[in-house]
Chain A
Amino acid sequence: MNMSKTFYQSAIVENAQWKQILGICSTLAVTNLMLNSLVMGLSLTFALALSSFTISLIRDYTPRNVRMMAQTLIIAAYVIVADIFLKEYYPDISKSLGPYVGLIITNCILMGRAEAFAAKNPPFASMIDGLGAGFGYTLVLLLIAFVRELFGFGTLFGFKILGDWWIKWSIMVMAPSAFFILACLIWLVNTKYYKIKAS
């Protein structure tokens, strides 16, 4: 299969969030700041790409009845690697993300891609698929965080955009706002993107 097509397919056409509605929990939790979202997205992409690669690599030797156990084990290992890396080199970001990096293990996107793609396709294609899904996830996170940080804090990536005259919207810094923004995003993508594609 064409690599760029695989990437585009899993990042945009079958985007985990706006098409499959997977991995929503972390979308609500970490999108209050752009920086948190970016780091979270990169951590997930790292874990997803490498776990997909590994799962695909051993797919012919994996017994069917224990495959999910093996997948979870592999995913957990890569997530812990990402978590240790952040704790060691970026303790401040690690602290502000709290338990959410570790919770990538339970993120549905990883198991979803492992079952739907990596278990049936060659390693390199699986890695591209993982990178694509990770990119799609990061994109959605950043879009939501853009709205939340701009209106909630008046900043983007910590840089002041809106002056002191701006009255910060408290609702934007709370988790429920991500619900509304995500819903609007899904609605927008469905009415504009998929309708046009279908016709």
Chain B
Amino acid sequence: MDNEKIPIQERKLYPFFFMVFLTAIFVAILGLLFHSSEQKIKDQEVLAYQTQMVNIFADTLSTVIHVNKEELLSPTKVAQAFSTYYKKSTKPLTYYTVEANGMLLGYCFDISGSGLWGTMNGFVGMTPDLNRIVNFTIYQQQETPGLGARVSESWFKKQFHDKILRLNGKVLTYSLVPEEATPATQEIKQITGATITSSSVSKMLFNEMNRIIPLIESQHVNAKSAGLK
């Protein structure tokens, strides 16, 4: 055979082995790198999630447990506060019950809805009677930067603080008023230039809470009747 005379680079299977070899090297390097940083990235995501959720009840919590709000939200304390005061339930849906010093402070729900470009996710904190919003925040969105993305700004979120969501057992639909106006009970300030995003927030709150509240209430009724037996 004159196989030996052909230089290695011109052999038929050389490109195949070359690619396999190259892929193996790079996959190994990336695998190692990913493995070493995976935990840290996950931890950061969890911390960001918990910080947002603790932030919802931060005002109420800090007065009940007599801790400074800034201290409560410091990166080193958030995980502890979260595990102490937030109790996760998975039935009939995933939500958190917030309790401190034996007092029920409210409930926290993870809600989602469609925005202009994609799904928006938010947290709603509700009072124990499920009639008022404690706080509301959008923690994930893909809205237009500078316009719709302003749903993450504090002035927009603040208007939901202590807002009536349910009146006489019915979930309210919020209508939009201009940014400079003072909204009434059934109104929220919209973001100038981002009407679709603003109304999506209003729709998302209405749809999700209309779905969630009856579920939670029926569960509580069941729990009570079970307790009577």
State the A residues within 8 Å of B (CB). 32-33, 58, 61-63, 65-66, 69-70, 73-74, 77, 80-81, 84, 87-88, 91, 96, 98, 152-153, 168, 170, 172-174
* Interface assignment of B15: CB less than 8 Å from any CB of chain A: yes
Q: Does B14 contact A (CB under 8 A)?
A: yes
Question: Do A80 and B22 have beta carbons less than 8 Å apart?
Answer: no
Please tell me which stretch of B28-36, B69-77, B91-99 contacts chain A, meaning at least 4 of its Cβ atoms lie within 8 angstroms of it.
B28-36
Known: A33-B145, A91-B48, A153-B146. A65 touches B26 (CB 8 A): no
Give the residues in chain B near A62, CB-CB below 8 Å.
18
Judge whether A63 and B145 touch: CB under 8 Å. no
* Shortest distance between the CB of B75 and any CB in chain A (Å): 12
CA distance A63 to B10 in the complex (A): 8
Nearest CB on B from A100, distance (A): 12
| Stretch from B37-45, B201-209, B213-221 at the A interface | B37-45
Chain B residue nearest to A30 (CB atoms) is B145
Q: Determine if B222 is an interface residue (Cβ-Cβ < 8 Å).
A: no
* Min CB gap B86→A, angstroms: 22
Residue of B nearest to A64 (CB): B15
Our pick among B9, B30, B193 for the contact of A61 (Cβ within 8 Å) is B9
How many A-B contacts if CB must be within 8 Å? 61
Tell me the nearest residue of chain A to B34, going by C-beta. Answer: A84
Residues of A within 8 A of B37 (CB): 84, 87-88
Interface of B is mostly: helix
Q: Check A173–B19 contact: CB distance below 8 A.
A: no
Check if B23 is an interface residue, CB within 8 A of chain A.
yes
Take A61-B18, A66-B19 as given contacts and tell me if A170 and B142 are in contact as well, using a CB distance cutoff of 8 Å.
no
Our pick among A58, A73, A88, A170 for the contact of B146 (Cβ within 8 Å) is: A170
Distance between A67 CB and nearest chain B CB, rounded to angstroms: 9
Closest beta carbon of chain A to B82's beta carbon, Å: 18
Of the candidates A58, A74, A80, A170, which one forms a contact with B147 in the assembled complex, judged by CB atoms under 8 Å apart?
A170
Task: Establish whether residues A80 and B145, one from each chain, have CB atoms under 8 Å apart when the complex forms.
Answer: no
Min CB gap B150→A, angstroms: 10
Cβ of A73 and Cβ of B144 under 8 Å apart?
A: no
- Tell me if A173 and B9 are in contact (CB < 8 A): no
Interface residues of B in 159-217 (CB under 8 A from A): 193
Q: Which residues of B, 3-30, contact A by the 8 Å Cβ criterion?
A: 9, 14-15, 18-19, 22-23, 26, 29-30
Complex Cα distance, B26 from A88, in Å, reads 20
CB < 8 Å neighbour of B142 from A58, A98, A153, A174: A98
A18 to chain B, nearest CB (A): 25
**Residue contact A70 to B145, C-beta cutoff 8 Å:** no
Report yes or no: A77 in contact with B29, Cβ–Cβ below 8 A. yes
- Please name the residue on chain A nearest to B145 by beta carbon: A32
Of A61, A91, A173, which one neighbours B145 at CB under 8 angstroms? A173
25 A-B pairs within 8 Å (CB atoms) are namely: A33-B145, A61-B9, A63-B14, A63-B15, A65-B15, A69-B19, A73-B19, A73-B22, A73-B23, A74-B26, A77-B30, A80-B30, A84-B33, A84-B37, A88-B37, A91-B41, A91-B44, A96-B145, A98-B142, A153-B146, A168-B146, A170-B193, A172-B146, A173-B146, A174-B146
Chain B residue, CB-CB nearest to A87: B41
Instruction: Give the CA-CA distance A33 to B144 in the complex, in Å.
Output: 13
Q: Are A66 and B146 in contact (CB under 8 A)?
A: no
Cβ contact within 8 Å between B144 and A70: no
Q: Write the chain A residue with the least CB distance to B194.
A: A170
Beyond A73-B26, A88-B37, A91-B48, 6 additional contacts (C-beta under 8 Å) are A33-B145, A63-B15, A63-B18, A91-B44, A98-B142, A174-B147
